[in-house]
Amino acid sequence: MPVINVDDLTDKDKALMEVTQLKREVQLQRWMTSKCCEEIKDYIQAGVDEDTLVKGISEDKNPFKEKGGCVIC
C-alpha cells in the first residue's frame, strides 16, 4: 500500500484528491430509502424483545443487581 505523507500534500494535491474521491462517490449504486427504512424497522422488531435496555430485566436475572444489605448472623 503506498504510504501518503499528508503533510507533503499541496493544496492542489488535496483538491485533486477531493475531485478523484467525488468521481468515485458519484458512481455509487443507491437504494430507495423506503427499502432501507423497512430493513431497519425489521431488524429492530426482530431484536427488541431481547433488548434489556428497552424491556427491562427482573432483579433476580440482573447480573448487575445492587447487592442486598449486610446481614450479621
**Binding pattern to other proteins, positions 43-72, x when CB under 8 A?**
xx-xxx-xxxxx--x----xxxxx------
Q: Which of 12, 30, 31 is nearest to 20 (CA)?
A: 12
Residue keyed to cell 499541496: 10
Quote the cell numbers at residue 20: 478523484
- Does 33 contact other proteins by CB under 8 A? yes
Q: Is the CB of residue 33 less than 8 Å from the CB of residue 40?
A: no
Residues that bind other proteins (CB under 8 A): 1, 3-4, 6-7, 9, 11-12, 14-19, 21-26, 28, 30-41, 43-44, 46-48, 50-54, 57, 62-66
